[in-house]
A and B are shown apart, each in its own frame.
With several copies, the nearest count.
Chain A
Amino acid sequence: MSTQTVPQLLRQQLAILAESDQRIDGRGRWEMREIDLEVGCLYNAEGSAKVTWGDTVIYAGVKFEIRTPYDDRPAQGSLMCGSELRPVAHRKYDPGPPSPESIELGRVVDRGIRESGCIDMANLCIVPGEKVWMVVIDIHVLSDGGNLFDAAGLAAIAALRNATVPAARFDVGEDYQLPVSLTPIMTTFTRVGGRLVYDANEEEELGGDERVSVTLGDTGAMHSMQKGLKGTFTPPELAEILDVAAEHCKNLRELVDSKVN
């Protein structure tokens, strides 16, 4: 399904549904699809999670590497989060270097986690000025059924909360659980049929407009926002979705809590 065919019929159908406050798969405007979360599912990853979110399937894996710290932060480790949006995930994805979509996904998830302060970089120091841990989160999308951002964000934080620092394998002490003090959660809203809805599915994304993603921390503070795709929104619309976001973030955080520890 190439970006060349703008699906006018689908857009019309979505607009008609929206007039009577309906969605194409029968959900309410702010209703989430069914999701499943597994943690610790990847043998060679130090932390891992599999999220099945409607027709979207995403794995996140955490690996650790030892690095020399940056000169200006000799006692701090680092974090890197990348995403691969490979051809396995959908007919529409081509092989080749990382697409802008793939880069945006990784960077938005990265900012949500990094800015929440859930990982204290000082906890990742091994020998100040010499050796620190770099935590690498790789997001691997296997099936794109819509709303990759929220599924990827959930997989990433769940994989982190499940992660063990492999100190023994690197000969720098005993393994220990990666300290993750907070659970930032992303929620994404998409304009479909003229109004913003939560958790758009594949068809809604295809016939929809702009997307707004918000990452909220445990105390309800915002840690990242990202508006993407063509379209605009207004300050009152922003206020409305932030209220909905708060509720969903709470529920999803409880889901993560129930699966780890």
Chain B
Amino acid sequence: MGGYGDVKLLNDDGSRLDGRAIDEMRPVEIRAGVLPVADGSAYVKHGLNEAIVAVYGPMEAHPRRIQLQDQAVLDVRYNMAPFSTSDRIRPGFNRRSREISKVTAEALSSVVLVERYPRSKIRVEIEILSAEAGTRCVGITAAAVALADAGIPMRDLLVGVAAGKVEDTVVLDLDKAEDNYGQADLPMGIMPATGEIAFMQMDGDLSMDELNTAVEYCFKGAADIYELQKAALKDRYNGGDSQ
């Protein structure tokens, strides 16, 4: 996290610079089945973030040394398109994207019924087309929908959502300015039906009380996104978008 109090992030009435309430999310839009050749796919727009996810598989895991005897491997790639940020990003993986790919794969492995597909591989390709703040959460939300669209059985959908701290106040869903100048960021991956946490990172400065509030906000936000995920899938099965 960047500065501490040197940038004003809350209005005098306690609302945020973009007018949102403390526990209000940016607008979210979800569509399933957006890519013709993938086995499953999803598009998520969250604030100004845009992510598209393609799922391929289950398929034979090769090379054989990556196979697991009793479960499927989730081969997840989180990738930011070169034009997805203000300054162009050189194509290819970097340390940040490798870490996000790893923890995202581990989170998704916790909800997919991987034991149904021993020795196989499920590819999850997360492409960030526009980045505002919170892309790893948007990628998780989209990946869960794309996995469901591909017919991969899961214990629950997984929702990516973040809370944070700005001007000593806990808020839901940091936008770009809040991310740059805020005091803490807590991205989570939540299974709304069971209340489990499959993904969590944090950096900044957060007391135990603040953490509790932030987690509570995340669960609240997750519940809302969960409904949009389910609606997108329902729409898809009712003959909705296939591009």
> Which chain A residues have a beta carbon within 8 Å of chain B's beta carbons?
2-6, 8, 42-45, 48, 52, 54-57, 59, 61-63, 65, 82, 84, 86-91, 95, 97-98, 100-101, 103-104, 106-107, 111, 114-115, 117, 136, 138, 140, 142-145, 169, 202, 210, 212, 217, 220-235, 238-239, 242
Contacts and interface: CB of A to CB of B under 8 A. Distances in A.
A8 B71 CA distance: 12
Contacts of A239: 212
Nearest to A115: B203
Given A88-B52, A225-B200, A225-B201, A44 B37 contact: no
6 contacts: A45-B83, A56-B36, A88-B125, A95-B77, A210-B106, A235-B195
Contacts of B205: 115, 117, 217, 221-223
A106 B71 CA distance: 29
A255 to B, nearest CB: 18
A62 B83 contact: yes
B28 interface: no
Interface in B59-103: 59, 65, 67-71, 77, 79, 81-88, 91-92, 95-96, 98-99, 101-103
A221 to B, nearest CB: 5
B130 A4 contact: no
B83 A87 contact: no
A222 B243 contact: no
B37 A90 contact: yes
Interface string B176-200: 0000000000100001001111111
A232 B85 CA distance: 32
Contact of B88 (A101, A106, A107, A136): A136
B169 interface: no
A202 B38 CA distance: 13
B161 interface: no
Contacts of B56: 87, 91
Given A2-B65, A87-B123, A63 B196 contact: no
Contact of A6 (B69, B129, B131): B69
Contacts of A87: 56, 77, 123, 125
Contact of B91 (A45, A84, A145, A210): A84
B109 interface: yes
Interface string B134-175: 000000000000000000000000000000000000000000
B93 to A, nearest CB: 8
B81 A140 contact: yes
A82 B91 contact: yes
Given A103-B98, A138-B88, 15 more contacts: A3-B68, A4-B69, A42-B84, A45-B83, A48-B83, A56-B36, A88-B35, A88-B38, A111-B203, A115-B204, A142-B127, A227-B107, A231-B110, A232-B196, A234-B195
Query: Which 5 residue pairs are nearest across A and B when measured between Cβ atoms?
Result: A61-B83, A225-B202, A55-B36, A88-B125, A232-B196
Contacts of A2: 65
A6 B68 contact: yes
Which of B77, B81, B130 has the most C-beta atoms of chain A within 10 angstroms of its own C-beta?
B81
Contact of A107 (B39, B54, B95, B206): B95
A212 B200 contact: yes
A138 to B, nearest CB: 4
A235 B81 CA distance: 34
A100 B74 CA distance: 14
Contacts of B81: 59, 61, 84, 138, 140
Nearest to B219: A235
A104 B202 CA distance: 14
Contact of B36 (A4, A6, A145, A217): A145
A140 B197 CA distance: 31
A48 B3 CA distance: 30
A134 B79 CA distance: 23
Interface string B27-63: 0000000011111000000001010101010010000
